[in-house]
Homo-oligomer: A and B are copies of this chain.
Amino acid sequence: MTLCDASIDFETADFRICEDLSDVREAVEQRLEMLVGTLPGVPLNLQQAVRHALLGKSKRVRPVLLYLIAEPSPRQRLCALDLGCAVEMVHTASLILDDLPCMDDAQIRRQRPTTHIAFGQSTAILAAIGLLTRAFGIVAELDEVPEPTRVRLAALLSDAVGWDGLVAGQEIDVNGRQQLKNADQIEELNWLKTGVLFVAAAEMGAVLGGLEDKRLDAVRRFARHLGVAFQTADDLLDQDASTSEAGKDVHKDGDKATLVSLFGASQARMSCQEHLSNAESALAESGVTPAPILELMQRLFATRKAAAQ
């Protein structure tokens, strides 16, 4: 399948492309819908599970962030969207697996029953593998992007998800939390569970946008701080929000070592603020147009703050 077809007329295409934050999010939503709309050769039950997991209510933070950092030319817009959708597929796959009975045993996600509750464990696991695999397929098939860039993007994604990235984070979260004793170790876990994919999304956007090394490094620092802040805010949300506010199971971290459980909500909030402030500085250094990204951060953390306070 050609994902970046130059013949597509961006003015009349099904999805709207604008620079406004809400419009980017809407374009991501529509593109995700198209990418899993009709899947010939895919068993119906599996298709439904994929759609259920991927198309639930979500802020689409990672693909929107990737798009805003890429600052794509009109010709690159569809590629930036597709690359963001690939990251969202990986993120969704990780959520499906995290929610399994043998992991967090969660019932609600994205305001819906978790995928294994709705479709059974075997189909849920296969939907996750399908999404993860498709993500790499999308990267490989970004026809408008030069092959050396595609290869670099695929390596970035593999490193982020792999056994010293997201997978390591989940292993420690499920089987190694009791060994975490101090804030540094917990921040390292937050980094693995959330930061690596934030950084991968941001870095993939920067690579697509052709940023030179120094600016790329600033983008990485920005995303690392944002990711850790996001996970800390999530832990605060877990403690304070209701399931309907959070759109997923909450109060599940009670016996887990988090910054909140170890040092209290007040210190966790301070740490979160510090990371957000560092993120803003790094963003300024990166030279990426800051306004829509700052707006994204404001929206994200306003919701989280409202729920967490």
Interface of A toward B, CB cutoff 8 Å:
39-43, 45-47, 50, 93, 97, 100, 102-103, 120-123, 125-130, 132-134, 136-137, 139-141, 146-148, 150-152, 154-155, 157-159, 161-164, 167-168, 170-172, 174-176
Given the complex, which residues of B lie within 8 Å of A121, measured CB to CB? 100, 102
Q: Are B150 and A43 in contact (CB under 8 A)?
A: no
Among candidates B133, B158, B170, residue contacting A126 with C-beta atoms closer than 8 Å: B170
Given the complex, which residues of B lie within 8 Å of A130, measured CB to CB? 162-163, 167
Among candidates B137, B140, B158, B163, residue contacting A46 with C-beta atoms closer than 8 Å: B163
Give min CB distance, A188 to chain B, whole Å.
10
Given the complex, which residues of B lie within 8 Å of A140, measured CB to CB? 151-152, 154-155, 158
Cα distance, A102 to B130, chains bound together (Å)? 17
Q: Are B122 and A168 in contact (CB under 8 A)?
A: no
Give min CB distance, A17 to chain B, whole Å.
25
Q: Are A168 and B41 in contact (CB under 8 A)?
A: yes
> Can you add 6 more A-B contacts, CB < 8 Å, to A39-B163, A133-B167, A137-B162?
A43-B172, A43-B176, A45-B175, A100-B122, A127-B163, A136-B158
Q: Are A137 and B163 in contact (CB under 8 A)?
A: no
Cα distance, A150 to B97, chains bound together (Å)? 29
Q: Are B136 and A40 in contact (CB under 8 A)?
A: no
Q: Are A155 and B141 in contact (CB under 8 A)?
A: yes
Q: 4 smallest A-B Cβ distances: which pairs?
A: A137-B158, A130-B163, A41-B164, A102-B121
Interface-centre pick from A45, A136, A174 (highest chain B CB count, 10 A): A136
Q: Are A42 and B164 in contact (CB under 8 A)?
A: yes
Cα distance, A50 to B163, chains bound together (Å)? 9
Q: Are B122 and A175 in contact (CB under 8 A)?
A: yes
Give min CB distance, A156 to chain B, whole Å.
9
Q: Are B39 and A164 in contact (CB under 8 A)?
A: yes
Q: Are A137 and B164 in contact (CB under 8 A)?
A: no
Q: What are 18 A-B contacts with C-beta separation under 8 Å? A: A39-B163, A42-B168, A46-B167, A46-B168, A46-B171, A50-B163, A97-B125, A103-B125, A123-B171, A129-B129, A129-B161, A132-B133, A134-B162, A134-B163, A137-B155, A139-B154, A147-B150, A147-B151
Q: Are A120 and B46 in contact (CB under 8 A)?
A: no
Interface-centre pick from A123, A129, A161, A176 (highest chain B CB count, 10 A): A129
Given the complex, which residues of B lie within 8 Å of A102, measured CB to CB? 120-122, 125
Residue of B nearest to A156 (CB): B140
Given the complex, which residues of B lie within 8 Å of A152, measured CB to CB? 140
Given the complex, which residues of B lie within 8 Å of A136, measured CB to CB? 136, 154, 157-158
Q: Please judge, given known A-B contacts A140-B151, A147-B151, whether A129 and B126 are in contact too, CB under 8 Å.
A: no
Q: Are B122 and A103 in contact (CB under 8 A)?
A: yes
